[in-house]
């Protein structure tokens, strides 16, 4: 049974997560100003780094974009030598998008800068609090993935 206090707490958690997400996204966009990629290109590179090679359709689904939009995105990233289209060995009709070294370098650098920012923000917190926050966020993420 959900109580009024629980509803208020859940509403507060949702609001804080939304605000935190917005700040992290904004900081990420500021960092991207040092690179020649757009925020959607960065998101695409992140998916490729995390999940490996995938088709345009798979990437489109992950990014919630139309295939035509993702194709345009990949075209620009391929011109900048961030990704490469690779035909399948067994079925040459299947084309997978492969992350190149320059794309990996950009992702690694931007993520390192984001982590440095977060480390600064968390600087006044105890290791116990940081560990507890990490555990709670991992648990929440896992439960949301399963839902």
CA gap 101, 50 in Å, rounded: 14
Q: Domain for residue 17, yes or no?
A: no
Query: Across-strand partners of 86?
Result: 96
Over the stretch 66-111, which tens digit does the pLDDT of each residue have?
999 999 999 999 999 999 999 988 888 999 999 999 999 999 999 9
Over the stretch 11-56, which tens digit does the pLDDT of each residue have?
999 999 999 999 988 988 899 988 989 999 999 999 999 999 999 9
CA gap 21, 86 in Å, rounded: 34
Q: Domain for residue 80, yes or no?
A: yes
Q: Domain for residue 26, yes or no?
A: no
Q: Domain for residue 122, yes or no?
A: yes
Q: What is the reported pLDDT for 25?
A: 86
Q: What is the reported pLDDT for 89?
A: 87
Q: Which domain holds residue 66?
A: 36-146
Number of domains comprising the chain: 1
Over the stretch 105-123, which tens digit does the pLDDT of each residue have?
999 999 999 999 999 999 9
DSSP string over the chain: ---HHHHHHHHHHHHHHHHHHHHHHHHHHHHHTTSS--HHHHHHHHHHHHH-SB-HHHHHHHHT--HHHHHHHHHHHHHTTSEEEEE-SS-TT-EEEEE-HHHHHHHHHHHHHHHHHHHHHGGGS-HHHHHHHHHHHHHHHHHHHH-
Query: Across-strand partners of 85?
Result: 97
Q: Domain for residue 28, yes or no?
A: no
Q: Domain for residue 25, yes or no?
A: no
CATH number at residue 73: 1.10.10.10
The bridge status of strand 83-87 relative to strand 95-99 is antiparallel
Q: Domain for residue 133, yes or no?
A: yes
Q: Domain for residue 14, yes or no?
A: no
Model pTM score: 0.83
């Amino acid at each position: 049974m959900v109580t009024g206090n629980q509803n208020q707490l859940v509403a507060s958690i949702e609001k804080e997560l939304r605000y935190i997400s917005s700040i992290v996204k904004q900081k990420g966009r500021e960092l991207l100003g040092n690179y020649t990629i757009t925020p959607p290109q960065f998101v695409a590179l992140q998916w490729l780094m995390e999940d490996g090679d995938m088709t345009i359709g798979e990437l489109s689904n992950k990014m919630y974009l139309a295939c035509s939009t993702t194709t345009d995105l990949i075209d620009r990233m391929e011109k900048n030598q961030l990704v490469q289209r690779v035909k399948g060995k067994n079925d040459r009709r299947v084309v997978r998008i492969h992350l190149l070294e320059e794309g990996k370098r950009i992702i690694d650098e931007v993520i390192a800068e984001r982590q440095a920012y977060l480390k600064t923000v968390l600087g006044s917190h105890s290791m116990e609090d940081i560990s507890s926050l990490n555990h709670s966020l991992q648990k929440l993420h896992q439960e949301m993935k399963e839902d």
